[in-house]
Homo-oligomer: A and B are copies of this chain.
Amino acid sequence: MSEMPEIKYFVTGGAGFIGSNLVDRILSQGNEVVVYDNFSTGIREYLEKANKNSRFKLIKGDLLDTKSLNEAIKGCDFVFHLAANADVRFGTEHPSKDLEQNTIATFNVLEAMRKNSINKIAFSSTGSIYGESKIIPTPENAPFPVQTSLYGASKLAGEGLIQAYAEGFGFNAWIFRFVSILGERYPHGHVFDFYKQLRDHPGHLEVLGNGHQKKSYLYVQDCIDAIFTALEKSHKSVNIFNLGTDEYVEVNDSINWICSHLGLDPKISYSGGERGWIGDNPFIFLDCSRIRSLGWKPKNNIQQGIIKTLDFLVENPWVLERR
């Protein structure tokens, strides 16, 4: 991207795990970035490095506050819409949260773009959108899925809105359906939970589910590489990409790598049956041949991603303590 004219990016959720890593990448490319984040889960410390860069601007605001949003987005060229209620586990406790923070928020972003003549958007969707696909690994054009979580349903709604804006208002859209992402600044999920437990009580580990849940993970820097590969090389009206690795692991594999890296041998107890929680997908494994066909491939396998995540948590204990 370095030979292109300077771009001013707008990043919703830019204080989050993926968002803040993306912001650092944008700044390292010599481009400008405006972060819009309500800090419901965003972390100020993640933007410490960015804060020292004159091309960086932070605006604290909520996507439901359309006045603030319309003001903040002015003059930007390209929107990364990453902000979301991402904790699928709480989906059935507060169903309105997914509707408001994901569906309505996405609508507000699109309307703010339209009002400000911005027509390029990249959107973080999810592999959960495939529900319980019978086709594994699951390609982007899998059979029309049935949703199994409010989180997946809200991302489906967001995708649909973005696609309709592409058709109706001439937007260009890049939609990324992620597997779980790991790496530096990872603030929740298995590795986080397991390490936190082992730090508190190294002798035992409680696992939600039976440990055989299969998961596919992608390392955050590989994820960002893939995003920029797609932006550079794919220029349809609507560009949809699965992002993941071509391998999967069981939760138990992850436990073994974590314990081995930490030099621990805890007693493990399982609870909750085959699925850890309502709406959890027992197996998300994506066919990523579309993004690979553009020349991208991950530089890290799942085990490397897990170890990098663990090292980050070991070096940054404040991340665990703030919860």
What residues of chain A have their CB less than 8 Å away from a CB belonging to chain B?
A: 91-92, 95-96, 99, 103-104, 107, 110-111, 130-131, 140-150, 152-154, 156-157, 159-161, 163-165, 167-169, 238, 240, 278-279
Contacts and interface: CB of A to CB of B under 8 A. Distances in A.
7 contacts: A95-B107, A143-B144, A146-B163, A147-B161, A148-B163, A150-B168, A153-B163
A168 B131 contact: no
Contacts of A154: 160
Contacts of A95: 107, 110-111, 165
Given A99-B104, A161-B153, A143 B146 contact: no
Contacts of A131: 163
A280 to B, nearest CB: 11
B144 A167 contact: no
A157 B167 contact: no
Given A95-B107, A153-B163, A157-B103, A140 B148 contact: no
A93 to B, nearest CB: 10
A164 B142 contact: no
A221 to B, nearest CB: 28
A170 to B, nearest CB: 10
